Each structure stands twice: as structure tokens, then as C-alpha cells.
Structure 1
């Protein structure tokens, strides 16, 4: 019982004093004269306890009459517990062990000691640890530096410092120019801050600005024939930013009022103030966001636009073109800025501008107002698709609302989900160059688009999917030669090229079938026509059987290739891109800040078709419902789209819309072979008119519910209850 009690108390004492394994304080249970224990020297402070070289060992004096073993055990344990009251931290224990083993350690950091606390006397410190705990010399960190001026205006210029470890120059910061308007790029570089620690940008670093006057001059020269009708107009400028484009446009048009809607005046105020404060200036700087409709509606008033007249929706003058007002906006963000359900703020704003054309709201209440909008070059294919793969609901609605959506200037590099055959792009480019020649339009030297350079025989970088060439990489890959990987890559490339060639051949066959069908389509009934129709369906069935044997990837290539060919070879090309009058001029990355190309769109609204003007907004909601249902999956067939639209819709529209099966208008006798992305405006109007005649069509409330709208429609609810 006694040894067990002793072992329990001894183990507790060991944990409290942080003794190392193997450091025994008891040698024998039966020889009390050799019991060793740690004795703390009297009248010694904390420093002496830390700097001790080795704990002293004391031997109990031998008495004449040996005490009993229980007394010896109790005495040893009590002394151990007394010694454990001085707590030794982990760091202090490490110093003691290092000193005992003779291993050099880092000099411990001196802790701050209040002046009211008396320092321990370090004279008794053993010499072996004196260098370990010697306090730092006064002034080791040098003289106290003056507090740094953090005012961005009065702060002294930053410099480049050299790193002593790597020898490379480490960037510290930028200098604020004394005259920001004369050094716009340097000012923006300073205002955007940097990526070094402690950088404080003055504004939104994702905003993009055009900083090249030459680029602005080239754009204005391209737009000059159509811009001259806006001389002396009012300009509504949303997010002018650096103001380079605003100043150039102002100098060309000489407007009577130029409203600058710039919310970030802290960043761009020094650049815009010289324009506003100039003598006889017609600029008006409004520190509000033009992308917040509440702020924009506040500016669209008699206070800021006294010479503009807002028309009622029933007034026919609201459908007329208004050349006395021009809207320009900078919606460029890099990376693109998302907002709620939209992946891009720019796309959302342009989508709402298109809706304002139909509703005659915002600045479209003054008539049909032209818009010049800058966006990130990477987003241009969402507004103006160049291939049928990128044709979506927004681009179809833009075709209904606008007479022209033109890409004026950009990097001219194609970006999007898919690429069509190069021959189709060259065919489209030749037609555009012919129109430019007929109208006497020339491209400024050095601003030719990549497509024009290809037509002129200039060797330009391949903008399609880049394929590695083996020859230039032989020297670089000699040490990492991997035959197995090379074999896989070669097979992949061979499979891709074979698939593209196979898809092109299948598309050629499909075009031949449709050309033969156009010859007999619409002819009066006769035995010859019946024979030709039977032959057409037989060839189409054989073609379907051949396509069904292809892989899924090749089938998608075939479908995309056929749609792209048929879209460009209609009497009126399906894509707005293929209807362009001029080629866009090329802009370089270094003409913007940050160094990333932007795209300028020229958007000119038009009068809505009669069926959409009548009973607004009911008929527009029908079009919205149809497009939203169809373009959930743009590559689906029209038949599947109508079946999923509403029960009975396919059977009704199949009979009421003959243009869907008219080959001469882009239709197809079999709606399984016509995709919804191939529907033209004429077809969509015919579908809307047939929908209005359908006796079993859903009411407006049911359509809005299907679209996910939370709009309350009392009339619809009453109709359901009845």
C-alpha cells in the first residue's frame, strides 16, 4: 500500500516539475540515506532559477537513528512538491537543457518589464548562460523614425528598394502625379494601388478605362458619317472614368449639355474636374451611379435635361428617332463583375437597356435614343454572337428591339463557345469588304481586323485552337521525351482532324439534300413532285442513319456545322454579325488601363413590330415566355421545344405556322431537323400570332408562373377560380 501511494504522489510531482524521462529522484526504496531531491537555493529570484547550469543535488544527512521508511518517503515527497511551486515554462526548460548539453541556442527575446517592478540581480548568473540572456544594447533598433505621411496628396514619392536576400528589386509603390490630367496612365496606376502589402487603392480596381487618344480618334473617324447627325446634342455619359473618350466625343459633337454620371469621384474627380472647371464648359459632373435606376431617373429630369421632352407611351412620337440625345457608357470590368443572377453586370445592364426600348422607359421615353457602350472584349460574343452556338435569348431580343447592333472596335479576336468553319468567316468577310468598297469606307492603316489581314494574305497568328508544333519544341523536349504521351497526343490530333473532316463531308451531303428539296418545294401537285418528295425523305432517312453511327462528339460537330452553314446562306443571314456593314477596327491592349482590350458597341433602337406594340406588355410577355422556354436548350429541335412549351402547343403551331416548314425561308419539312436557335424573327412573330389565336393557351398568370415570376396578377387568379 505504501509503495503504491508513493508512486502516485511521485508521478504527480514529476508532471508538475516537467522532469525529463530518465531523470530519477529516487534510487532505492530501502536506502533512505541516498535519497536525492532538488533543493531551491534560498533568496534567489527568477533569473537565477532560469540561468542555473544544473539543478543542485543535496543528500539528506545521515542520522544516528535512521527514521522509518514512511517518514523518509513523506519528507522526500514534501520537498519535491515545494520545489515544484516555481513553475518552469517550456521556453525556460529548453534553455536549461541546451545549456546543460552544451548546444548553442538563440538569444531569447527580452520581455518588457514595467518600471515599478525591480529587475533581478543578474550578477549571480553562471558564466555559461550569461551570453544567452544578456539584454540587448540600448538603441539596437536605431533611432526612432518619424511617423510616415499617409496622406496620398502630400506623401513623398515612393522608391524602389533592393532586397538584401535575393538581390532583386522589390516594388514599394507609385507616385501621384502633380497634374493628373496630363499623366492619366500614371495617375491611374497610382490610384489603382498595387499588389504589395499595405496598398490602398483609391477606387474600384476592376474598372477598365480607355487611355489612348489615337484609339479614340480612330473610332470617331469610323463613326463620323453617322455621328454628324448628333451635332449639338445632349450627351448622357455613364461611368466616364478617366474621361479620355468623353473629352474626344465632346470635342467632336460640341454638345449643349454633357452630363457626367461618375460615382467614384474620389478616384476620377481629379481627372474630370479640369473638364468641368474649364471656361464656358458644358460639362455637369453628377456624383451618382448611372447604373442605379433611381439615380438615373433623378438625372432624367428638367433640371439636367431642360430641352428634352418625355413622351407618353401612346404618343406616336415616342417611336421616332431622337438625334438630340446620345447615351454613352463604360461597362468594362476586368475580371467581369457579377450581380445577383447575372454572371456579368455589363450583360445585365445591356439587357435592361434593351427592355427599356420595348417599354419606352429610362432615357428611351424621349424617343429612340442611340447608345455607344464600352464593355470588356471577352464579353462581346454574348451581345453580338459570331456563330450559331452563341445565339441565345438576349441576342434574339436585341434583334427585335434594335435596328443595328454593331461592333465598332475591339481586339477583333473571336471568343465564344465554338468556332465555325474558317471558310464561312472568309465568305462573310468578303461580303463586308465589298459593301465597304461600295460605300467608300476605308480602314485606317494599322487598324485592320484579323479577318481582313487574312483576306489580304497577311500571315497572322492563328486565333483558333492552338496546336503544338513538334519542330520548334524538339530542342526543349529532348530531356523529357515520353513516347507514350506523344502517341496519345498524335492519336488525339488525328481523331480530331478526322472528326472535323468527317463532319464537313456529312454537312456537304445534308446541303445537297436541301438544295434538291428547294427545287421541288412549292410546285403544284403532280406525279413528278410526289416522286421527288419520296426521294427527299428517302435520302434524309439514309442521312439520319449515317449520322446515328457517329460518336456523340462528331454528331454535335455535324449539327453545329449544318446550322452555321444554313444560317449564313439565307437570303438574310440569321446572325447580326453577318449583316454588318463594316469591319470593326482593331484596338490593342496597351491602349487601355489596365492593359486589356475593350469593345465598343453601337446600338441603335428601332420601332417594335405591331404585334408587340399592341396590348403592351401582354404580347411582349408572350414573346418572353416563348424565348425563355425555347432557349433553355438552344440545340433542341423545334418539335421538342413546342412539346415542352405547353400541352397541345405543338399540334396547334405545327398547322398554324407554315414558315417553319418552308425551306426557302430557313425552315424544314421535318421539325425534328430544325433547331430552336435557327428560328428567325419572322418565324417567331408567326408563332406569337398563332399563340394569340389558340383557344387553349395559358393565361398571363400561368405563363409568368412558369417563367418563375412572382408578379401578382389578380385578373389571372380570378380567371383560374372561375
Structure 2
């Protein structure tokens, strides 16, 4: 595994990047403020590689304006300006006292630049656009219901990490606000939805582009809601926690599919920018009896285990050189590390076996749906398939009962990832934007961001005209604000109640309704249910013989909405649920709706005490 080795001093000047001398002078004295030490790009080579990679996605044959938020030292801003030659380029740097020596000369270098300083979080963008971007105009109302898209404006952003632990407005929360603005056509999107090129700390990116269903929280959901494209353009190397949540085969299948997409598009990667390959976790020096080695991604924890084990072995081999107490302590530490490595292997082994068992049950349910719609099948044959499902479920429960809860308590994460992979058309239609990325991100070297070793990731976002958020346009305009607030409340539950099943949601929203009634109102949910044969029922042909039986309501099938968690469901189906709810349910406020779901939406978030401008709803 590649070790991330920090430089001798992260503040040492880098000879091939002379700008670092001035950065040290300006930033190092203020390094106690995290925002000043968040990392700023210094490599023009990286800029060139990134812009070449992203060029097919940004129109270059029409007038373009750029709004550049937190431009920092201006290296990235200058490269983008040279490449795109914008009509106007507005630089907005809140910390102009720090970055002024870089930005003021840049602003004077071309007439397209305008430099200013303000609090970006409280900015009123319609007023700013009117003042500095006179060519920008509000889009004409259209009857198509599509989300208006503004191809003449590009946003560059480098949101800072909070200065204080008490400040919870992280870059991912800023991003959530921007994505919500895209849905509602407010803020930066007041003249139509715009493209965004943003730089984030690596640890924040997983909130925006979730790698696993478990990590699919509100920022990711809001991005899926409006995105045509959202992917990493370039990223620093980081040992990411999600590596331990996915199976080795799943990770490899994912990476191979991305490689295939890139090859199909003719995307090439410059030397030195290739993704750093993952390695397999080490096998235990003393394997556990009855538990074979289970392949999984190597993490920092595995390296720590092996370091302690190998240290214990070295000391034991040369015990005469050490005091008995040191030998005993090293042996004790090595024994613990060995036990931890074995437990890690056993946990991965048990969780994947449980996942395979449930996926086999899911396949039997698919077989049952197909057979139940086939007039050539007999009742006895259907009952035989149903019995297999019952027997497999009993065997799975026995397998769970026979293992300590610590071994299987989080296996639902593996299961949900396997399920969305099954329903994703070779990952091309996955609910996770990460699975749909068109190529691997370019690798950012340690010294290309200053202070050295700071991990940053560049994200490209492009809005879609036809996206799930256009569900708002399916209802009268006077009802749209209420529906948007309900979506807000539902999205919050993805963070507070990530284990919620579909049944828990539908029971709360449609009390007294049977599962059959709910599925007839919401046929898009049928795909995400457990299936069993109704007693004494035979095959019944579908009205449309070309339909997929697994996704159609069948009178001879008994459905169970409790077998899938809500986090597996695409955002388009969440809108389906809310549209039906608004049509049939009680008239609750968004705050009451949130409490109904067990969420924690505050009056401020619900809009009851909003200090911002009114939301535009198309």
C-alpha cells in the first residue's frame, strides 16, 4: 500500500513553485485559522491537465461569465480564464487582506476581471448579478416543465473549512444549500441552473458523492436531485473509510466499469495522474481455523495491525537484547493485533456470506415473479419456488443467530450496496453518482497543493434540464413551495434515520392503507419489495406481455415493503411518494411532517423563520 508521507515541513517552500514563498509570508502567520491552511492550488501543470479533461463538458463557442468564489492565490482562476476566455470574470475573496497580493495583480492583468470582497454566505446574488453581470438575464418561462439551464455562467468555488469547531457550516453544507438553490432556481441559480467547478477537502467529498448507500445523506440526495453530471475531476490520495464498507469484488467491478467508460470516450490519463491502485488486506500470520482468508481492501488499520505483529516477532526473535518486561509487552500487543486482524477477516467473511444468502433469496423472488406471470406454470410449481424462498429465509435467520451480533450488525450496508448494484444496469443507472462517474479522477500530487500534503478534490457539477426536481412542475404553482418543504423534511431523515425501511415511511404517510393499495398508488415501489406467493394462487398473465413482472403489480403475489431500506430508493421515487402524499394525506406543515417521520427539522430550516429572499418555484 502507498504510504502518504508528509513532507519534512508542510510550510517549506517548493522550489518548482515560486509562488509558495509569498504564500508562506501571507498565510503561515495566520495558520491557526483553519481557513488559511485549507490548501490552495500551486501547480499550473495540474490546472492544464484538469482543464483538458473537463473541456468536453464546458461550452467554449458562446459568451461565458465566471463567478469565482474564494479564489485564494488565483492560480486556478488564472488558468481557467486563459483557457475559457470569459466575457467577465468576477473574483470574490472574503479574505482579501490575506490573498490581495496575489489577486490584485491578477485583476489588473485583463479587463475581464473584477475583484471584490464580501460575505459569500449572505450574498444576495440577484443584486450582484445585476451590478456586475449586466448581460445575464432571467430565463423565459417555459411550459415544458424542464429546469431552466444557464450555459453562459460558470461558478468556480473553493469553500473553506470552518474556523471553529462550533461552526457547523462545512463545505458539504454549503453545497447542500447550492443544490437546493438549483432545485428552486434561487441564489447562484436565479438566472437558470449553472455549472460548478468546486474544490473540497477530501473528507468532505464523500458527503456530496457518496461511495456507498450508507453514506447517501442529504448533500448527496440533493445533488442526485438536479445533476446531469457530478463527478470528481482531480483528487489527492486518501485512505477512505468506505473501502472497508464494500467487498473487494464490488470495488473492482466498479473500477473496471469506470475504466471501460473512459476507454469508450477516448479519455486518456497523463503519466503520473493515474489512480493509485488499492491493495488487498494482509492475511493473518496465524489463520483462524474454519475461516478462510477473505479478500478485502487494505486500510490504514491493517497496516497498524501488521506493524505491531511484525514488531512483536522481531523482539521475540531477539529477546536476549531486551528487558523481559519489554518482550512481554510486545508479545501482548502482537497477540491483540493478531486477534484484531483475525476478527476483521471473520467479520468481512460473515457479512459477505449473509449478503450472498439474501441476494440468492432476492433472485428466488425474481424467479417467482416471472413464474407467476407465466401461464405455462402450474400452482404446484409456484408453490415449490415459494417454499424455496421460505426455506432460504429460515436458513439465513439461523446463520444470523449462530454468529455474534458484532459480526453481522452492519451487514445491511453490504446488502444495500449489492442490491443497488443489481438494479443499476451495470452501474450505469446506479442511484449513486459515484458509480456513474465517466472516468477516474486525476491524481493530485502531494506538493501541488499548499501547504504541502493538504488533500483537496475538484468536483464538476452540471445541472440537468430533465431531472427528478422537475416533479415540482407537475402541480399548481401555489402548491410548489409546500411540496419543496416536504422534500426538504424527507431529505433530512436520510441523515437522522438511515435505517428507515420503506414500510416505516409508508405506514407514517398513509396510515390505514394496505400494502396493495400503496403499491397501486406507487407502482414504482414494486421493484423494492419482498415477494411471496399468495396462498392457493396460480399463474396470472400480465395485461402487457412485454412488461417486467418484477416491476408490475401482480394479484397473485404478496408484497412486503419492510424488506428494503429507504436509502436504496432513487430520488425520483421519493418525489413520487411525496406527490401521492400531498394528494391524499392531511395538510401538515413541513415541521409537522418532519416530526411525523421522526426527524429533527427546525423551524428555521422549514422556512417558518426564514431571513432569506422568497424561493422561486419556476
Corresponding position: 1:542 with 2:368: no
Residue pair 2:312, 2:333 contacting (<8 A) in 1 also: no
2:148 aligned with 1:320: yes
Q: Which residue of the other structure, out of 437, 457, 460, is the alignment partner of 2:263?
A: 437
Q: Secondary structure at the match of 1:616?
A: helix
Instruction: Report whether the alignment pairs 1:688 with 2:574.
Output: no
Unpaired segments of 5 or more residues in structure 2?
1-8, 281-296, 529-549, 610-618
- Structure 1 residue 624 corresponds to structure 2 residue 455: no
Per mean C-alpha deviation after superposition, the further-off stretch among 268-277 and 555-564 is 555-564
CA gap 1:537/1:631 in 2 versus in 1, 3 angstroms:
farther
Q: Do structure 1's residue 559 and structure 2's residue 389 form an aligned pair?
A: no
Partner of 2:221: 396
1:284 & 1:649 partners in 2: Cα distance? Answer: 59
Quote the offset at 1:473 in angstroms: 5.9
Q: Does 1:424 pair with 2:250?
A: yes
The 1:589/1:337 distance shift into structure 2, 3 A limit, reads farther
Q: 1:244 aligns with which of 69, 75, 92?
A: 75
**Distance in 2 between the 1:594 and 1:698 partners?**
50
Residue 677 of structure 1, CA deviation: 1.4
- Alignment partner, residue 193 of structure 1: 28
Give, in whole Å, the separation in 2 of the partners of 1:578 and 1:626: 23
Aligned-pair CA distance for 1:200: 9.2
SS at match of 1:561: helix
Instruction: Tell me how far apart the structure 1 counterparts of residues 448 and 77 of structure 2 sit (CA, whole Å).
Output: 15
Normalised by the size of structure 1, how large is the TM-score? 0.66
Task: Sort the Cα spacing of 1:672 and 1:551 in 2 relative to 1 into closer, same or farther, 3 A.
Answer: farther
How far 1:381 sits from its partner (Å)?
0.6
The secondary structure found in structure 1 opposite 2:90 is strand
Q: 8 Å contact 1:337–1:344 — kept in the other structure? A: no
Q: Aligned equivalents of 1:229 and 1:683: distance in 2?
A: 36
Tell me by how many angstroms 1:512 deviates: 1.7
Alignment partner of 1:440: what SS? coil
Aligned to 2:179: 354
Q: Aligned pair in 2 of structure 1 residues 351, 695: CA closer, same or farther (>3 Å)?
A: closer
1:666 Cα deviation from its structure 2 partner: 13
Q: Deviations over 1:284-314 (max 9, x none)?
A: 11122333323x444221x310111023667
Q: Which of 482, 503, 527 is the equivalent residue of 1:639? A: 503
**Structure 2 residue corresponding to 1:581, chosen from 415, 418, 438:** 438
1:113-124 maps to which residues of 2 (within 5 A)? none
Determine the structure 1 residue equivalent to 2:240.
Answer: 415
Q: Which digits, 9 at most, give the CA deviation of each residue in 1:434-470, with x for residues without a partner?
A: 111111111111101124899xxxxxx9446324323
CA separation of 1:675 and 1:306: change in aligned 2, threshold 3 A = same
* Greater relative contact order (Cα < 8 A, sep 6+): 2
Aligned counterpart, 2:541: none
- Residue 154 of structure 2 aligns to a residue whose secondary structure is strand
Q: What CA distance in whole angstroms lies between the structure 1 residues aligned with 2:410 and 2:126?
A: 48
* 2:459 is equivalent to residue 611 of structure 1: no
Work out the CA distance in 1 between the residues paired with 2:577 and 2:193.
Answer: 27
The 2-side partners of 1:650 and 1:598 are apart by 49
Three-state SS of the structure 2 residue aligned to 1:307 is coil
Residue of structure 1 aligned with 2:43, choices 195, 212, 215: 212
SS in 2 for 1:291: helix
Question: Where does 1:221-260 land on structure 2 (aligned, <5 Å)?
Answer: 221-229=52-60, 232-260=63-91
Report the count of equivalent residues.
Answer: 522
Looking at structure 1, the residues matched to 27 and 589 of structure 2 have their Cα atoms a distance apart, in angstroms, of: 53
Q: 1:213 to 1:630 in 2, by over 3 A?
A: closer
Whole-Å Cα distance in 1 between the matches of residues 410 and 353 of structure 2?
11
Partners of 1:386 and 1:299 lie apart in 2 by 36
Checking the alignment, whether the CA contact within 8 Å between 2:35 and 2:163 is kept in structure 1 is no
| Counterpart in the other structure of 2:355 | 507
| 1:215 CA drift (Å) | 1.3
Distance 1:701 1:535, change over 3 A: same
Q: CA RMSD in A?
A: 3.4
Change (3 A) 1:316 1:258: farther
Out of 674, 685, 708, the residue aligned to residue 602 of structure 2 is: 708
Tell me how far apart the structure 2 counterparts of residues 317 and 694 of structure 1 sit (CA, whole Å).
Answer: 23
The 1:618–1:265 alpha-carbon spacing in structure 2 relative to 1, beyond 3 Å, is same
How far apart are the structure 2 equivalents of 1:700 and 1:488? 51
Mapped to 2, the partners of 1:650 and 1:329 lie a distance apart of: 48
Bigger-Rg structure (1/2): 1
Q: 1:568 aligns with which of 395, 416, 421?
A: 421
484-493 vs 561-570, which deviates more?
484-493
Equivalent-residue separation in structure 1 for 2:458 and 2:246 (angstroms):
23
Q: Secondary structure at the match of 2:36?
A: coil
The separation in 1 between residues aligned to 2:33 and 2:236, in whole angstroms, is: 29
Provide the C-alpha distance between the structure 2 equivalents of 1:557 and 1:202, rounded to a whole number of angstroms. Answer: 37
**Could you state the TM-score of these two structures normalised by the residue count of structure 2?**
0.76
Could you tell me how far apart the structure 2 residues matched to 1:487 and 1:306 are? 70
Residues 41-97 of structure 1: per-residue CA shift (max 9 Å, x gap): xxxxxxxxxxxxxxxxxxxxxxxxxxxxxxxxxxxxxxxxxxxxxxxxxxxxxxxxx
What's the counterpart of residue 112 of structure 2?
A: 282
Asked if structure 2 preserves the Cα contact closer than 8 Å seen for 1:191 and 1:202, the reply is no
Query: 1:445-594, aligned counterparts within 5 Å?
Result: 445-451=271-277, 462-463=298-299, 465-467=301-303, 468-469=305-306, 470-471=309-310, 474-475=313-314, 478=319, 479=322, 480-482=326-328, 483-522=331-370, 523-524=372-373, 526-527=378-379, 528-570=381-423, 571=425, 572-594=429-451
Instruction: Say whether the 8 Å CA contact 2:347–2:407 is kept in structure 1.
Output: yes
Residue 305 of structure 1 corresponds to 133
**Aligned residues of 2:312 and 2:334 also touching (Cα < 8 A):** no
Conserved? CA contact 1:216–1:248, under 8 Å: yes
1:160-193 residue CA offsets vs partner (Å, 9 max, x unmatched): xxxxxxxxxxx9x999x9xxx9842111111123
Distance 1:316 1:517, change over 3 A: closer
- Check conservation: 2:94, 2:119, Cα contact below 8 A: yes
